[in-house]
Chain A
Amino acid sequence: MEKNQNDWNQVVIVGIGDHAVGPGPMSSIGLGSCVGLVIHDSEKCIGGLAHVMLPDSGGRTERPGKFADTAIDALVTILVGQGCRKTALVAKMVGGAAMFKTLSENLNIGERNITAIKENLKQKNIPIKAECVGGSVGRTLTYYPSDGGKVVIKLADGKKNEI
């Protein structure tokens, strides 16, 4: 489901497989192997967030936010539709961890999500401005498009950092 975030005071939560676009703050809670992908327009100070679950859609078109390839397409299309210049777009990404050793041994979905997003961004010539990915910890991200595209990352122990 696509959300429009035009409310500057309230944070919109972007759940698994969802995406949202607008000038107001957006958040994805508890990213594990999923990746929170931000595409930000540095000129217009709006942008989008997708909660990417899997690396490749395999041709599926519903829930574009769920897959790396369709999420990037969807966010770029909406942003360009709202008057953004493609060359002003930059990306940030957070997540892609391997939480449980027993789950990640043969799958490594977090890492595959990161690789797929990087490849798809490269094809579209969108530079990655910052990232906080991999490892084995869960992360919550909050993205503030109107505040220079600031992304605040919170860990389970309460520690915060900004990218």
Chain B
Amino acid sequence: MDLSHTQRDALRELGNIGAAHAATTLSTMLMSNIEMDVPEIHLIDISKVYEHVGDEIAALVLFQITGEVSGGGYVLLHIPKNSVIRLTNAMLGMTDLDRDLTEMDESALLEIGNIMVSAFLDATAGLLDVIMLPSPPSLIVDMPHAAFQSIITAQDAFDINEVVLFRTELKSDQHKITSNLFLLPNPPMLTDILEMLDKLLTP
């Protein structure tokens, strides 16, 4: 598999539009500015995933993509544990930072995840002129590498030796919250998206 410069640019732009919409929803919920980085796109060997995703504890909210795209794929919202506590605190007006995650944090994460990921997929699908819907979310608080590894394996992984890592960072400097949105398309879905983007770019 290989991605050309044009394909990378097109994917980055697609990610930009999706993430901008997700950032707006987060900004509304937190009533604060959200800073967004240019999406990163890496084509990496499965044996090197650990160089990009570690084992530091984080909340991981997983959505499966369904709708008018072949194969489907996943969107994963990744928020480090400390940021989760600051996020819930900011939403509920609390201040205690030295605490464990509770059901309250979990409800907040599922809610925020739903809103952000729906906005992300709506905007992405709108640009491609297809329908993409998120499945109900599945939340764990664990190691990001273990989550990625399980998601890659759950695809038809026999001949998968490379994956596309598609990441956008969303931050609130005011509340010291960082979060990452990962788009993990299955190979058929990636091919679909690239074809749709090609059509869009051809006058």
Interface residues of A toward B: which range? 35 or more
Q: Which residues of B contact A139 (CB under 8 A)?
A: 143, 146
Contact of B64 among A32, A54, A98, A102 (CB under 8 A): A102
> Taking A15-B49, A17-B46, A99-B147 as contacts, is the C-beta distance between A156 and B138 under 8 angstroms?
no
Query: Which residues of chain B from 83 to 135 have any CB-CB distance to chain A below 8 Å in the complex?
Result: 135
How far is B64's CA from A3's CA once the two chains are assembled, in angstroms? 35
Contact of B150 among A58, A99, A154, A158 (CB under 8 A): A99
Interface residues of B toward A: which range? 20 to 34
Indicate if A70 sits at the interface (CB-CB under 8 A). Answer: no
Query: Which residues of chain A from 136 to 159 have any CB-CB distance to chain B below 8 Å in the complex?
Result: 136-140, 154, 156-158
How far is B160's CA from A53's CA once the two chains are assembled, in angstroms? 11
Indicate if B161 sits at the interface (CB-CB under 8 A). Answer: yes
* Identity of the chain B residue whose Cβ is nearest the Cβ of A109 in the assembled complex: B153
* Cβ–Cβ contact B50 & A107, under 8 A: no
* Cβ–Cβ contact B154 & A138, under 8 A: no
* Identity of the chain B residue whose Cβ is nearest the Cβ of A53 in the assembled complex: B153
Which one of B29-37, B52-60, B171-179, B186-194 contacts A? Answer: B52-60
> Taking A15-B50, A33-B149, A53-B153 as contacts, is the C-beta distance between A99 and B140 under 8 angstroms?
yes
Q: Which residues of B contact A54 (CB under 8 A)?
A: 153, 157-158
* Identity of the chain B residue whose Cβ is nearest the Cβ of A158 in the assembled complex: B57
* Cβ–Cβ contact B158 & A58, under 8 A: yes
* Identity of the chain A residue whose Cβ is nearest the Cβ of B63 in the assembled complex: A102
List the count of A-B residue pairs having beta carbons below 8 Å apart. 115
* Cβ–Cβ contact A33 & B55, under 8 A: no
* Cβ–Cβ contact A156 & B150, under 8 A: no
Contact of B143 among A58, A100, A110, A138 (CB under 8 A): A138
Indicate if A93 sits at the interface (CB-CB under 8 A). Answer: no
Query: Which residues of chain B from 36 to 56 have any CB-CB distance to chain A below 8 Å in the complex?
Result: 45-50, 53-56
Q: Which residues of A contact B141 (CB under 8 A)?
A: 156
* Cβ–Cβ contact B157 & A102, under 8 A: no
How far is B149's CA from A34's CA once the two chains are assembled, in angstroms? 7
Q: Which residues of A contact B150 (CB under 8 A)?
A: 32-34, 97-100, 103, 109-110
Indicate if A44 sits at the interface (CB-CB under 8 A). Answer: no
Q: Which residues of B contact A97 (CB under 8 A)?
A: 146, 150
Indicate if A16 sits at the interface (CB-CB under 8 A). Answer: yes
A sample of 9 cross-chain residue pairs with beta-carbon separation below 8 angstroms, ordered by A number, consists of A13-B50, A32-B145, A53-B153, A53-B157, A60-B158, A63-B161, A103-B151, A109-B154, A138-B146
